[in-house]
A = this chain, B = another copy of it.
Amino acid sequence: MPKDSALNKALVIFSGGLDSTVCLYLAKKDFLHVEALSFDYNQKHKIELSKAKRIAKKLEISQTIIKISSEIFLGSSLIDKDLKVPKKSLNKNKLPNTYVPGRNILFLSYAVSFAESRNIGNILIGVNALDFSGYPDCRPDFIQSFQNMVNLGIRGNDKSSIQIKTPLLSLTKKDIVLLGDKLNVPINLTHSCYDPIKSKPCGECDSCLLRKRGILEAKLSNKYDI
């Protein structure tokens, strides 16, 4: 396969959190050329972007940060300062108010335009449908339908077809921590908290709780901050 084949190139949707950082390290191992795409949507946890920058620099990966106008998304406690991020509330059946309307649809769509423009044949996204907050746009059937849509919506020859890859989709958070550890991911450099207090994780939001549980179950709390 020629070195510059689209099949050898990957674009990682990269927030600077645990999951997407594991994806980035997986991509670095599996593809000749890797780029990262990050999003600034005025999230309360924008600190993740500075972590993402450090990690991308460490891996010598070209990172593009897309600014999404904050007027698009309404009603999410990840953005709206009048809405509180739920604490100690994991495993309820209701979709939490941290849900951002259509976020992964929009992130993936940006990735498709970016990848098709650059002849990149793979998009990696760290969605996970086991230890997650029940977001519809993290589920396997959503990802499959997004792939079907892309197959019809872009140029559609071999040169530019794009595969959406979700290597973490059916892993538990424990498995993701173990995989990250194996790949030498700098887990302590990653940021997962939805609602940091002076740049520090709150320890109580869904994302903190899932991360903490994963590290504890992996028996790696001596190595990584919880």
Contacts and interface: CB of A to CB of B under 8 A. Distances in A.
B148 A117 contact: no
Interface in A180-212: none
A113 B118 contact: no
B154 A117 contact: no
What is the copy number of this chain in the assembly? Answer: 2
A158 interface: no
Given A148-B148, A149-B149, A156-B136, A105 B112 contact: yes
B149 A142 contact: yes
Nearest to A144: B152
A110 B72 CA distance: 8
Given A67-B69, A112-B105, A117-B101, A152 B148 contact: no
Interface string A128-151: 000000001101011001101111
A99 interface: yes
